Amino acid sequence: MARTLDDFPITRHWKPRNPELLQLYSYPTPNGVKVSIALEELGVPYDAHTVPLGETTTPAFLSLNPNNKIPAIIDPDGPDGEPFGLWESGAILIYLAEKHGGLLPSDAARRAETLQWLMFQMGGVGPMFGQYGFFGVFAGKEIEDPRPRERYVNEARRLLGVLEGRLADGRDWIMGDEYTIADIAIFPWVRGAKIFYKAEEPFEMAARPNVMAWLDRCIARPASGRGLVQPPVE
């Protein structure tokens, strides 16, 4: 018998409003909004479920993502036409881009280069910026030893320098004239560091004019702007 959404225990807690739509389980953090931005840019209708960060360890959420992190999705029309669950934001971005034919170049070399920059975010920008948030803004700021903060500030500056170099030749987007999942993965973290971590000065963002101009272009895209506020905070 073919699977249905009812076979996913998470749907009994966060009930689908429209079972025919892709189900998104997320929260508007830098990681969470990557998927909603991609869905908006691709024009894919979706049903957004707000998952407060304190509920990612509940049995309902763990039934879909045992790693207890947002975002996660269920695509009711997955491979072989059956519902398909997926987690990890980078994996979801690749899956959506390949399925819907956008945000990822078809040329093999450019596709690989786009994935390179996606991994730059997954392995660098996200973890390093996130650790700065812990040690510089949240609970870890009470630690007197300055070395953790110094390490993550210095690494954040270095990563922004890499991105500045990439954008220094007048290109609008990381892949030149094509907006891709690489932009979508990275810009929410730069925005989050600036707005939520108040890291504009410690990260020396003023010394990265190409990055700041790129960030403004990303935010100004109507679809990306809509994705930044999904799912809504309840």
pLDDT tens, position by position, 114-132: 999 999 999 999 999 999 8
Each residue's pLDDT tens digit, 172-191:
999 999 999 999 999 999 99
Strands 84-87 and 72-75: antiparallel
For the cut 70, the answer to whether the pLDDT of residue 140 exceeds it is: no
Question: Phi then psi for 47, rounded to 5 degrees?
Answer: -110, 110
Q: What is the pTM (predicted TM-score) of this model?
A: 0.95
Residue 70: the pLDDT is 97
Structural domains in the chain, CATH included, are 5-102 (3.40.30.10), 108-224 (1.20.1050.10)
Q: In what order do the strands lie in the sheet with 46-50?
A: 46-50, 22-26, 72-75, 84-87
Contact assessment for residue 43 and residue 79, using Cβ atoms and an 8 Å cutoff: no
End-to-end CA distance of the chain: 37
